[in-house]
Amino acid sequence: MVLASEKLDFIPFPALIADIGGTNARFGMVQDALSSVKHFPVLKTENYDSFEKAVEDVVLGHTAIYPRAAILAVAGPVREDKISLTNCSWSVEPKRLLEEFGFEVVVVLNDFEALALSLPSMQGGDLQAIGSGVIDPRGTKLVVGPGTGLGAAALVFARNAWVPLPGEGGHINFGPVTDLDFDIWHVMEPTNGRISAETFLSGPGILRLYHALCRLNNKPLFFNKASDVTRAALDHKDDIAFETLELFCTYLGRFAGDMAMFTMAKGGVYLAGGILPRILPLLKKGPFRQAFEAKAPHDDLLSKMATCVITHPKPALEGLATYARTPPRFSVELRGRRWAQQNISA
């Protein structure tokens, strides 16, 4: 087997698609360029020793269709021939997949790159607007989202194609603004020895923020799961939990606004991940949009950018399927991220 040429964007069907996050893995199958996605049960990555075992059990054990290609989205940077996930024990080895499953082609993308690929296909029912703003159809689109970690990617229109820009924006340093922020930073639990955006803006980050506020207020810790903090906040059953979620929305607004300024996201800012649809009422009524726009001297610029939550249940799979069906619609950098059998010509 050899590394395929970066000019080769042909995807043979049927194609297995997979979105592998830190906590959950989602699988689908695209039979041909005109078919809809066949979905398989969502699984917890901790319940399987490896990606290969999950494919055998959840996908190949439940369909008579055998895929010729695999297009994977992984939560972590794609580099070299063994790809480790940032918040999961799994690794993906494309050459091993070619040998073990007989795939003709394997493509591995960043998970938020796959989310970016879905944005041109998102319909009204897949989105919930947060505040005002106007979407430029050809403007740069930005997607950010807290989950097990924090991801970000952009989608730029150039030379009649959409170009995804993956990255690890969730790991940028994140600094305090208000007096309360400075107090929180003093008691916050660092991640990997520092305070990054992901330290706050993730499922584990909600719990860290709750713990920090409890310390500052000399309150006992009633909750040990982020989901419990979120539920108590939405039900107005705990003041510290509610303050935690309000600050979470504020910090998310700041981060999204910073990324929007950097990418000039006139095509819209899209909020993804499993956490945000659950806290949609607070995002709409709370401090998110105010924090997003508070970027003096560029408040007016941010006020004109649209923000919305993606409510589509599996947007990354939709992005991979859209790419598989119409590769020329996108200009995806494939060097070091596409592997093929020797008999697949470049």
Domain at 232, CATH number: 3.40.367.20
Whether 227 and 152 map to the same domain: the answer is yes
In single-letter form, the type of residue at position 255 comes to F
Give the model's confidence band at 167: pLDDT under 50 very low, under 70 low, under 90 confident, else very high. Answer: confident
Would strands 15-20 and 69-74 be described as parallel, antiparallel, or unpaired? parallel
- Region 115-133: mean pLDDT is 92
Range scoring the smallest mean pLDDT among 86-95, 96-105, 224-233: 86-95
pLDDT of residue 4: 38
Tokens of 326: 């119409």
300 and 157 fall within a common domain = yes
Does residue 65 belong to any structural domain of this protein?
A: yes
Residue 193 in this model has a pLDDT that exceeds 70: yes
Region 309-330 average pLDDT: 94
Distance CA 109, CA 58 (A): 21
> Is residue 13 over pLDDT 60?
yes
Percent of the chain with pLDDT over 70: 96
- Please give the Cα distance from 289 to 312 (Å, whole number): 21
Give how many domains the chain has, as a whole number. Answer: 2
**Which pairs with CB-CB distance under 8 Å and at least 24 residues apart come from 84-90?**
85/20, 85/22, 86/22, 86/149, 87/21, 87/22, 87/23, 87/148, 87/149, 88/20, 88/21, 88/22, 88/23, 88/45, 88/148, 89/45, 89/46, 90/20, 90/45, 90/48, 90/50, 90/51
Burial group, residue 269, by CB count within 10 angstroms (0-12, 13-18, 19+): buried
Whether 69 and 195 share a structural domain: no
The token pair that represents 339 in the structure block: 């592997």
Residue 3 has pLDDT above 80, yes or no: no
209 located within any domain: yes
Look at residue 310 in the predicted model and tell me its pLDDT.
96
Does the residue 118 lie in any domain?
A: no
CB 307 within 8 A of CB 256: yes
CATH number at residue 326: 3.30.420.40
Query: What pLDDT is stored for residue 76 in this prediction?
Result: 78
Please give the radius of gyration of the chain, using alpha carbons only, rounded to the nearest integer.
21
Residue 328 in any domain: the answer is yes
Identify the band that residue 97 occupies on the pLDDT scale cut at 50, 70 and 90. very high
Whether residue 41 is contained in a domain is answered as yes
Range with the poorest average pLDDT among 185-194, 212-221, 223-232: 185-194
Beta-carbon-side half-sphere exposure of residue 204 (alpha carbons within 13 Å): 14
Q: How far is CA 31 from CA 18, 36, 67, 71, 271, in A?
A: 14, 8, 8, 13, 29
Burial class (CB in 10 A: 0-12, 13-18, 19+), 221: exposed
Residue 8 has a pLDDT of 55
> Rounded mean pLDDT of 267-281?
94
Does 286 reside within a domain?
A: yes
306 with 319, same domain?
no
- Asked if 305 and 235 sit in the same domain, the reply is yes
Same-domain status, 175 and 306: yes
Based on the fold, state whether residues 7 and 101 are members of the same structural domain: yes
Supply the mean pLDDT for the chain: 91
Judgement on whether residues 87 and 143 belong to the same structural domain of the protein: no
- Residues 309/130, Cβ–Cβ less than 8 Å: yes
Which range has the worst mean pLDDT, 6-20, 34-48, 102-116, 216-230?
Answer: 6-20
- Within 167-238, residue ranges assigned H as helices are 179-187, 197-200, 203-216, 226-234
151 and 86 belong to one structural domain:
no
Our CA angle for 248, 249, 254, nearest 5°, is: 100
Q: Which residue range(s) make up the domain with 43?
A: 2-111+315-340
Do 14 and 67 contact (CB within 8 A), yes or no? Answer: yes
Q: What is the pLDDT of residue 168?
A: 85
- Tell me, yes or no, whether 97 and 128 share the same domain: no
Q: Which residue has the higher pLDDT, 98 or 75?
A: 98
Task: Please report whether residue 345 resides in a domain.
Answer: no
Residues 284 and 154 in one domain: yes
Nearest to 8 by CA among 342, 327, 329: 327
Same domain, yes or no: 201 and 129: yes
**Confidence label for 165 from pLDDT (cuts 50, 70 and 90):** very high
Give a yes or no: residue 346 inside a domain.
no
What DSSP line would sit under 104-151, residue for residue? SEEEEEEHHHHHHHHGGG--GGGEEE-S--B--TTS-EEEEEESSSEE
10 band by pLDDT with thresholds 50, 70 and 90: confident
The pLDDT score that the predictor gives to residue 124 is 83
In sequence order, what E strands does the chain have? 2-3, 15-20, 24-30, 37-39, 43-44, 69-74, 83-84, 91-92, 105-110, 127-129, 141-146, 150-158, 161-166, 269-271, 307-310, 338-340
